[in-house]
A and B are shown apart, each in its own frame.
Chain A
């Protein structure tokens, strides 16, 4: 087993400092939104987590495609790491969204296109993990996982459009349009700065965690090889 790379240690520190800075900015630098009050501050984490969730799933589908082309297990490990991180960040996105929606929309959940799409996306990737769990052969597991990661990722925008054809109440803060969206607000300078910082910090955190998860998968593989070599010796 190799030692922890210096770059990873650096990334760990950067993520920790960044998270601290982003949190301080959210609480002390960004102003309290006039209509919604302090609960609006959940926005900075909510959107950042949602963005990283989508990034992870895109990354997983992309790595899956490269795995199918090259057959290098490295890409399969990256793909799994992407899916697992995507599930975690999307869940953070859903939970923070519900905390915000309770006072603003007066409900934890509505069947709005974005909410519904994220919920279905979580189910797609839960199914991905179940598919992988059902296959013992590592190489076959990698191939099937890659195919399903691609199929699943393509279905997500289709799901969104199919539900979008009905109306939505989810606010679009960036590049917005619908004046009827509930809980919409305009960002001031400090708000935008805080938002951009939390987006960048969450993205750094994503790459940090991705690296850790990748190393974990590599070690698990090495242990598996060592173990099978062990049992082969015992069997003789």
Chain B
């Protein structure tokens, strides 16, 4: 088998392992879902959203909710490996370290998208505003993948720190701001039905963020799990 195929198979195997473990316990998914709903409800009371004002706020509320639930999952993804000592097992596997990073990113992304897949229709239902538009789904995909790409890298450092329970959001949020700004703007623009040419810069920024941090994480991950 060619090295690339072996590499991809290793990623697929590790991702499948994470998802299988998650499927059996549904630990992360249920926690993220309930937490996400709570955030949406708190926004409802905190902002006293009147139907006329909702449209402008939806993008912001959606992405704050996704960012909060995302950190919850990312922290757990690495903390579980660390606590059970299974991270050492993964490191012993005869694959490139970046495969471990990519598989963690993929499994976290799937779980985050699954959470979003439930939160979005529920949000649409509660606030009587259809979020299930193709454009918004694209923004969700790009936004979540960028968030998880950086988040997985930073979470792998945060779980090794003494202050691991509080560290991840502090590390992740300031770095994720360009991503969140672009995602909020693009979501709002798609909701308002703005011309695609005006949304394009935001989509490009989302794509660029994904690519840049994929490259950075790819090179940096080796130095994080070095023993």
Residues of chain A whose beta carbon lies under 8 Å from any beta carbon of chain B:
68, 120-121, 123-124, 127, 130-131, 133-136, 140, 143-144, 146-148, 150-152, 154-155, 158-159, 161-163, 165
Indicate which residue in B178, B185, B213 contacts A161 across the interface (CB closer than 8 Å).
B178
Complex contact B162–A152 (CB within 8 A): no
Q: State which residues 142-194 of B face A: CB under 8 Å.
A: 150, 153-154, 157-158, 160-164, 167, 170-171, 173-175, 177-178, 181-182, 185
Which of A131, A146, A159, A161 contacts B171, CB < 8 Å? A131
| Number of chain B residues close to chain A: CB under 8 A | 33
Which 9 pairs show the lowest CB-CB distances between chains A and B? A134-B161, A134-B163, A158-B178, A162-B178, A162-B181, A123-B174, A124-B174, A155-B175, A147-B220
Kindly list chain B residues whose C-beta atoms are within 8 Å of the C-beta of A135: 160-162
Residue pair B177, A148 in contact (C-beta under 8 Å): no
Beyond A147-B223, A165-B202, whether A152 also contacts B177 by CB under 8 A is: no
Nearest CB in chain A: distance from B5 CB, A: 29
Pick the contact of B167: A134, A155, A165 (CB < 8 A). A134
What separation, in Å, do the CA atoms of A158 and B150 have in the docked complex?
14
Given contacts A143-B226, A144-B224, contact A134 B162 (CB under 8 A): yes
How many whole Å from A12's CB to the nearest CB in chain B?
A: 34
Chosen A-B contacts, 15 in total, with CB atoms closer than 8 Å, are: A124-B175, A130-B167, A134-B163, A134-B167, A143-B224, A144-B161, A147-B153, A147-B223, A148-B157, A151-B213, A151-B220, A154-B216, A158-B208, A159-B178, A163-B181
User: Which positions 40-92 of chain B face chain A at CB distance < 8 Å?
Assistant: none
Count how many pairs of residues, one from A and one from B, have CB atoms less than 8 Å apart in the complex: 86
Task: Give every chain A residue within 8 A of B212 (Cβ-Cβ).
Answer: 154, 158
A68: nearest chain-B partner, CB-CB? B223
B120 interface residue, CB < 8 Å from A? no
**Contact status B175-A152, CB under 8 Å:** yes
CA gap between A131 and B158 in the complex, in Å: 7
Rounded to whole angstroms, the CA-CA distance of A127 and B149 in the bound complex is: 18
B213 proximity list for chain A (CB < 8 A): 151, 154
Contact of A150 among B164, B167, B216 (CB under 8 A): B216
- Smallest Cβ distance from B152 to chain A, in angstroms? 12
Please, which residues of chain B bring their CB within 8 A of the CB of A143?
A: 223-224, 226
**Is B209's beta carbon under 8 Å from chain A?**
yes
Nearest CB of chain B from residue A189's CB, rounded to whole Å? 40
A131 near B157 with CB under 8 A, answer yes
Q: Beyond the given A136-B162, A151-B216, please list 7 additional residue pairs across the A-B interface where CB-CB is below 8 A.
A: A123-B174, A130-B167, A130-B170, A144-B161, A147-B153, A158-B212, A165-B205
**Residues of B with C-beta under 8 A to A136:** 162
* Residues of B with C-beta under 8 A to A133: 163
Partner of A127, one of B150, B171, B216: B171
Q: How far apart are the CA atoms of A55 and B151 in the complex, in Å?
A: 27
Indicate whether A144 sits within 8 Å of B205 (C-beta atoms), given known contacts A151-B220, A161-B178: no
The answer on a CB contact under 8 Å between B205 and A161 is yes
